[in-house]
Structure 1
Amino acid sequence: MLTKVFGSAVFGVDATTITVEVNIDKGIGYHLVGLPDNAIKESSYRIAAALKNNGYELPGKKITINMAPADLRKEGSAYDLTLAIGILVASGQLKSEEVDKYMIMGELSLDGSLQPIKGALSIAIKAKEEGFKGFFLPKINAKEAAIVSDLEVYGVENVLEVIDFFNGKGNLVPTIVNTREEFYKTLDFPEFDFAEVRGQESIKRCMEIAAAGGHNIVLIGPPGSGKTMLAKRLPSILPPMTLKEALETTKIHSVAGKVKVAGLMNQRPFRNPHHSASSTALVGGGSYPQPGEISLAHNGVLFLDELPEFKREVLEVMRQPLEDREVTISRSKFTITYPSSFMLVASMNPSPGGYFNDPEAPVTSTPAEMNRYLSKISGPLLDRIDIHIEVTPVPFEKLSDTRNGESSVDIRNRVTKARELQSKRFETFEHLHYNAQMTTKHIREYCKLDETSLNLLKTAMERLNLSARAYDRILKVSRTIADLEGTDTVNSSHISEAIQYRSLDREGWLG
């Protein structure tokens, strides 16, 4: 007897429907075709034990299974439940004309219980697009898939629940999620709050500007000055995610199997890879393609601590994603594009010893060591970082102050208002939403300077030996400072403040 059931393969961040054809005929054998990997080939052992332990059996006949399209490689153990249901129907142990109306996915344990799968949200979206009535999957993934409306999502704990459903038994009900209620859960109590930070008022101001304009930022300071602490609090002052952004972010984390809380992600991600990370770990890819750290940080923050300690070739692969807001991975057999629109926050010591420019500590690094250390960061990469700010240690008087500083919620309110101004300004542009994304053409149009401001900028560039690449960055940051004040024009005070945020362009740093 021939039967068809349906599963799905996740390729990149999108799903492709897989038709599983099961034919049972005279003879003995188990033949699985359609480019399955080893995990799928081993499924027969898991399926046999799971069915046996729940009162069913693998028929002792010739079982031929084709996974179409046959030229697309299938991977992972999530097809166990799909194959098991197909075998039961083809062998007459499960009689149902409804099986082909549902998407079915799940990894089986030997006792018939189901283990979580990756990409549940992508699969649910595809199931709805192709008109499936419902989706069976492990219960732990049900809330994530139920974000998709107009699709019956059944979270099951054991293969027996699926069998009983198609046999008209049991009381399995679909999982219902109020997407908007999940999305609009209060965000007024962030895990890391700027109110807890003592001192560092100038750095807080700088990070508020970075958040308001979506600017990439690098923090330069000696060990223990608070660089990591400040970076961890940046997501708390970014504007709340839109529903579209939340869906995009959840989809990527779902594909990677990294959805920590069931349901829709409503907080911006913060990714902090170790400096030993490979280029594949950072941008994604591999023999079985997976999104990397820059895609997991989509719509959030990517924090690179100790920036010069990263391998130079690893940092260089970030140049294209920082510019294009997406990363394309090309191999001989496939090409995948992952979204990667994130804010880059980096931190670094000012020298190998860590205490350059600190009057309280001796300089232990030679000029040659300094140049070698700082040269690990290429000019093209620095071209994509708008703000450089020096972080100095906090004096004891401020550390011992028991008063709380300004809360992240208050700062976020100002940031959100500035972003709203930018959204309105750039509403006619499809891929331009905030100041950091402006090109030279947009800078000339929206950052016009009067004579006083222009002379100030000219004087600063000459006296501080600022590089040419600093010019556009200063104008972008000035535009954001003006937006925080709610003014349409960029004036000399905005230029003056923005000039302070180009430390690495000055003579004595990178030359």
Structure 2
Amino acid sequence: MLSKSFGSAVYGVNAYIITVEVNVSQGTKFFMVGLPDSAVKESEQRVESAIKHFGYRMPRQKVVVNLAPADIRKEGSAYDLPIALGILAASEQIVTDKLERYIIMGELALDGKLRPIKGALPIAIEARKQHYKGFVLPKENANEAAIVNNLDVIGVENIQEAIEFFEGKLHIEPLQTDTRDMFYNTLNDYEADFSNVQGQENIKRALEIAAAGGHNVIMIGPPGAGKTMLAKRLPSILPPLTLHEALETTKIHSVAGKLGKASSLISTRPYRTPHHTISDVALVGGGGIPQPGEISLAHNGVLFLDELPEFKRTALEVMRQPLEDRKVIISRAKISVEFPANFMLIASMNPCPCGYYNHPEKECICGAGVVQKYLNKISGPLLDRIDLHVEVTPVSFDQMTSNRKAESSAQIRERVIKARDIQTARFKDTPHIYSNALMPPQMVKQLCQINEAGKTLLKTAMERLGLSARAYDRILKVSRTIADLAGSEQIKIEHLAEAIQYRSLDREGWAG
């Protein structure tokens, strides 16, 4: 007898329906076809043990399981449940007409319990799109899938519950979630806040400008100056996620299996801090069936690279294209997938190997040329994509023990949101550009015009400080953001002067 059930495969951040056909006929042996990987092939042993645990039997006949379409590779153990239900239906151990109306996914333990799967959210979105009645999946993933409305999300703990549900012996109430209520209740729920940071007012100002214009930042300073602490608080001053951005971000984390058991919808901006030993593939994404890397997991949030010169040169170079295009395309022989990668890059580094070059109190012990060699680990093209270079100095004892109340993240965020609103109106007719940092050179000339006094100041700065040519556009973009924060239509000379301060690494002779 032939039975059909439906599962799903996830490629990139999108899901595709997989038809699980099971035929039980005269003969012997078990056959699994349709380009399954090893994890899918091994489902025979898990399925047999699971159904026997609840008193069912594995047919001692010829069993053919076909995963269609047969020319797409199937990966992972999440097909266990639809295969098991298909075998029981084809061998007439269960009788139901519901199988073809639901998407079914779940990994089976040997005792029949269900283990969680990856990608429940994109699968649920595709199930609703294809007009399936519901989605049967492990209970641990039910909250995640229930974000999608107009779809019956049925969470089950073991295969027996799934069997009884399909036979009509057990009524399971579909899980209902008020997505908007959940989203708005946890919006801007950040643990770290700028009110806890004493001193470093100039660095806070630089990060406020970065948040307001979507600019990438590099912080240079000695160990213990507070670079990591300040970077950790940057997401708390970014504009709140929209519901669309939250769903998009949650899909990526769902595909990567990074959502916690109790998590469903990501409502705060991601903050990713990969270690400097990370590989190229782990940073950008990849694999046989490509999975998202750290730059995609930081989508709509912040990617913080601590000790930037310690990262492998190849790993840093592969970020250049995603920083420009805001997406990463991973191509394989039979498949090409696209992951979004719209993130803010925040990097930090010591000024030299010993960490004390330009320190106000401690002396640098690095030899001649060592500092420049250390800085040269970061390529010019990558540095070209970083708008703000900020020197971080240690906090004095008086500042650390001061009782002066620091400005909170909420107060800073208000100013950032106002500046972003100005940019939203400015770029409303320009697709794919929504912040000052994304302006191409021709738009910079049009929107970042300065008066004669400003031109004189910029010329003097470039000559006296030895600023490189690439600093010119960056200074204009940052000054445009500073003007937006001030609510000014024109870029004034004070806005330009402040922007010039943020090009430390472009100064000739900065490292001796």
Paired residue for 1:449? 450
Aligned-partner Cα distance in 2 for 1:313–1:161:
50
Aligned-partner Cα distance in 2 for 1:355–1:402:
29
Paired residue for 1:314? 315
Q: Deviations over 1:341-376 (max 9, x none)?
A: 000000000111100011311121123211221111
TM superposition shift of 1:452: 1.0
Indicate yes or no: 2:340 matched with 1:335: no
Contact 1:140 1:262 in 2 (8 A): no
Indicate yes or no: 2:176 matched with 1:173: no
Aligned-partner Cα distance in 2 for 1:183–1:467:
45
TM superposition shift of 1:31: 0.5
Q: Deviations over 1:88-116 (max 9, x none)?
A: 11111111112101000000011111101
Paired residue for 2:392? 391
Paired residue for 1:213? 213
Indicate yes or no: 2:143 matched with 1:152: no
Q: TM-score, normalised by structure 2?
A: 0.98
Contact 1:375 1:510 in 2 (8 A): no
Matched letter for residue 346 of structure 1: A
TM superposition shift of 1:390: 0.2
Of 248-257 and 10-19, deviating more is 10-19
Paired residue for 1:14? 14
Give the number of equivalent residue pairs.
Answer: 511
Paired residue for 2:411? 410
TM superposition shift of 1:288: 3.2
TM superposition shift of 1:166: 1.2
TM superposition shift of 1:287: 2.2
Contact 1:271 1:302 in 2 (8 A): yes
TM superposition shift of 1:188: 5.3
Matched letter for residue 140 of structure 2: I
Aligned-partner Cα distance in 1 for 2:253–2:19:
25
Contact 1:107 1:116 in 2 (8 A): yes
Aligned-partner Cα distance in 1 for 2:349–2:241:
29
SS of match in other structure, 1:66:
strand
SS of match in other structure, 1:100:
helix
Of 393-402 and 197-206, deviating more is 393-402
SS of match in other structure, 1:367:
coil
Of 179-188 and 268-277, deviating more is 179-188
Aligned-partner Cα distance in 2 for 1:291–1:210:
25
Aligned-partner Cα distance in 2 for 1:186–1:8:
30
Aligned-partner Cα distance in 1 for 2:510–2:288:
41
Indicate yes or no: 2:294 matched with 1:305: no
TM superposition shift of 1:333: 2.8
TM superposition shift of 1:187: 3.8
Indicate yes or no: 2:348 matched with 1:347: yes
Paired residue for 1:223? 223
Contact 1:460 1:499 in 2 (8 A): yes
Aligned-partner Cα distance in 1 for 2:333–2:483:
48
Question: CA separation of 1:188/1:330 partners in 2, compared to 1, >3 Å: closer, same or farther?
Answer: closer
Matched letter for residue 353 of structure 1: C
Aligned-partner Cα distance in 1 for 2:360–2:487:
38
Paired residue for 2:510? 509
SS of match in other structure, 1:184:
helix
Q: Deviations over 1:139-173 (max 9, x none)?
A: 11111111111111111111111111111111211
Q: Is there any run of 5+ residues in structure 2 with no aligned partner, and where?
A: none
Contact 2:188 2:236 in 1 (8 A): no
Matched letter for residue 87 of structure 2: I
TM superposition shift of 1:8: 0.5
Matched letter for residue 508 of structure 1: G
Paired residue for 1:184? 184
Paired residue for 1:36? 36
Paired residue for 2:475? 474
Paired residue for 1:253? 253
Paired residue for 2:163? 163
SS of match in other structure, 1:456:
helix
Paired residue for 1:436? 437
Contact 1:108 1:115 in 2 (8 A): yes
Contact 2:11 2:289 in 1 (8 A): no
TM superposition shift of 1:186: 4.2
Contact 2:48 2:57 in 1 (8 A): yes
Q: Deviations over 1:200-224 (max 9, x none)?
A: 0000011000000000000000000
Q: Is there any run of 5+ residues in structure 1 with no aligned partner, and where?
A: none
Q: Deviations over 1:178-210 (max 9, x none)?
A: 110111114455200000001000000110000
Paired residue for 1:96? 96
Indicate yes or no: 2:255 matched with 1:281: no
Contact 1:182 1:263 in 2 (8 A): no
Matched letter for residue 161 of structure 1: E
Paired residue for 2:484? 483
Aligned-partner Cα distance in 2 for 1:133–1:294:
35
Paired residue for 2:110? 110
Aligned-partner Cα distance in 2 for 1:57–1:492:
82
Aligned-partner Cα distance in 2 for 1:147–1:418:
31
